[in-house]
Structure 1
Amino acid sequence: MINVGFIINYRLSGWLGVSNYYKNFLNSINNIKNSKIKPIIITDYHFTKNEKLFFKGVKIIKTHLVDRKSRGKKIINNLLISIFGRNIFLDNFLKKNNINIISHTSYLGKNSNIISLKWFPDFQEIHLPELFNSKQILARSYDIKMAAKHSTKIIISSTSVKNDLKKINNQAYEKGLIFKHVNEIIKPEKLKNYHYLKKKYSLKKKYFFLPNHFWKHKNHIVVLKALNQIKKKLNFDIISSGNITDYRFPNHFEYLKNYIKEKKLENYFRILGVVPFEDVLCLMKYSVGVINPSLSEGWSNTVDQANCYGRKIILSDIKVHKEQKPFRGVYFKKHNHKDLASKLIKVSSLKIKQKAEKMHILKAYNDSKLKRKKYAENYQNFIIKISH
Structure 2
Amino acid sequence: MLSSESAFRDFRAYYPHAGNRVSVVRFATQPPAAFLNIDPSEVIAAYNLPTNYFYLPNQFYRHKNHQLVVDALTILKRREVEIVVCASGSTEDRREPGYYDLVNSEIQKRGLDTHFRHLGVIPLSHVYALLRASTALLNPSRFEGWSTTVEEAKSFGVPMILSDIDVHREQTAGAARYFGVDDPVALADHLTQASQQARGLVVRNVVQHQDDNVRAFAASFAATMRRAAAQDV
TM-score of the two chains, using structure 1 as the length reference: 0.55
| Cα distance, 1:245 vs structure 2 | 1.1
Task: Count residues in correspondence.
Answer: 229
Q: Corresponding residue for 1:325?
A: 172
**Which runs of 5 or more residues in structure 1 are unaligned?**
1-154
Q: How far did 1:227 drift?
A: 0.2
Q: Once the two structures are superposed, what CA deviation does each residue of 1:208-229 show, in whole Å capped at 9, x if it has no partner?
A: 0000001000000000000011
What is the CA–CA distance in structure 1 between the aligned matches of 2:111 and 2:123, rounded to whole Å? 28
Alignment partner, residue 218 of structure 1: 64
Q: How many angstroms apart in 2 are the aligned matches of 1:385 and 1:175?
A: 10
Greater CA drift, 368-377 or 258-267: 368-377
Matched with 2:28 is 182
Matched, 1:158 2:4: yes
Q: Post-superposition shift, 1:351?
A: 4.1
Structure 1 counterpart of 2:212, one-letter code: L
The one-letter code matched in structure 2 to 1:249 is E
**Aligned with residue 383 of structure 1, among 204, 225, 229:** 225
Aligned to 2:105: 258
Unaligned runs of 5+ in 2: none
Is residue 209 from structure 1 mapped to residue 55 from structure 2 by the alignment? yes
Contact 1:307 1:326 in 2 (8 A): no
The answer to whether the 8 Å contact 1:303/1:326 transfers is no
Q: Distance in 2 between matches of 1:243 and 1:159?
A: 28
Equivalent residue for 1:228, pick from 74, 83, 86 = 74
Q: Find the aligned partners of 1:308 and 1:234 in 2 and give their Cα distance.
A: 30
Distance 2:143 2:93 in 1: 15
Rounded Cα–Cα distance in structure 2 between residues aligned with 1:326 and 1:186: 25
Q: Partners in 2 of 1:200 and 1:326 — Cα distance?
A: 35
| Structure label with greater radius of gyration | 1
CA distance in 2, matches of 1:285, 1:173: 43
Which of the pair is proportionally richer in strand? 1
Are the equivalent residues in 2 in contact too, given 1:238–1:269 (CA < 8 A)? yes
Residues 365-384 of structure 1: pairs in structure 2 closer than 5 A: 365-384=207-226
Q: What is the aligned partner in structure 2 of residue 41 from structure 1?
A: none
Q: Is the 8 A contact 1:162 1:173 kept in 2?
A: no
Q: Which residue of 2 aligns with 1:296?
A: 143
Determine the C-alpha separation between the residues in 1 that align with 2:200 and 2:109.
38
The alignment partner of 1:381 has SS state of: helix
Query: 1:166, 1:173 within 8 Å by CA — same for their partners in 2?
Result: no
Q: Normalising to structure 2: TM-score of the pair?
A: 0.90
Deviation at 1:171, TM superposition (A): 4.4
- Identical columns (%): 28
